[in-house]
Amino acid sequence: MDYDEIMRNLEYTIKEHKDKFVGTFETNIYDMARDCKRYIEWQQKEIEALKPQPDMETGLMPCGCGGKARIEESPFADDVDNIGLKIYTVGCTDCTIGFEGYFTSNEDAQEHWNGAMGWKESKL
């Protein structure tokens, strides 16, 4: 149940039972509901602030183990046509988990890593 639905139910209850309320009870109920909404919004912001963020230097999310991730660039091993194709791998420097697949751009590797690590702004 979301805040708007709670408020609709509250308004309905107040209208139906208005004759049973004493003095400022109706106002107090609305104030309490508003305060609860503010508290919930504040808690949600606090929780978001605690979530891991991408590293400012690399743009990569930390690994699930807490380690730092890095992207490595290397010449493509089978570059028989000598076209200078590069591949990028991404993995954790602590637990060595990573993508064995190769990406043709730094951005693609970053996007896949961050998505795997739960970054919501991932395009994946």
pLDDT tens track for 59-110:
999 998 989 999 988 765 555 556 666 788 889 999 989 886 678 888 888 9
Residue 61 buriedness (CB in 10 A; 0-12 / 13-18 / 19+)? buried
Name the CA dihedral angle for 17, 22, 23, 24, rounded to a multiple of 10 degrees.
Answer: -70
The CB density around residue 3, as the number of other CB atoms within 10 Å, is 13
The answer to whether 88 and 103 are in contact (CB under 8 A) is yes
Cα dihedral: 99, 102, 107, 111 (round 10): -30
Cα dihedral: 58, 116, 44, 37 (round 10): 140
Per-residue burial over 91-112, b = 16 or more CB atoms within 10 Å of its CB, e = otherwise? bbeeeeebeeebbeeeeebbbb
**pLDDT digits over 31-52, tens only?**
887 888 888 888 888 888 778 8
Alpha carbon 113 to its chain centroid, in Å, reads 14
* pTM recorded for the entire structure: 0.56
Specify the residue for token string 């998505």.
115
**Every domain of the chain and the residues it spans:** 3-50, 69-116
Residue 83 has what pLDDT?
Answer: 64
What's the CA gap between 88 and 108, in Å, rounded?
9
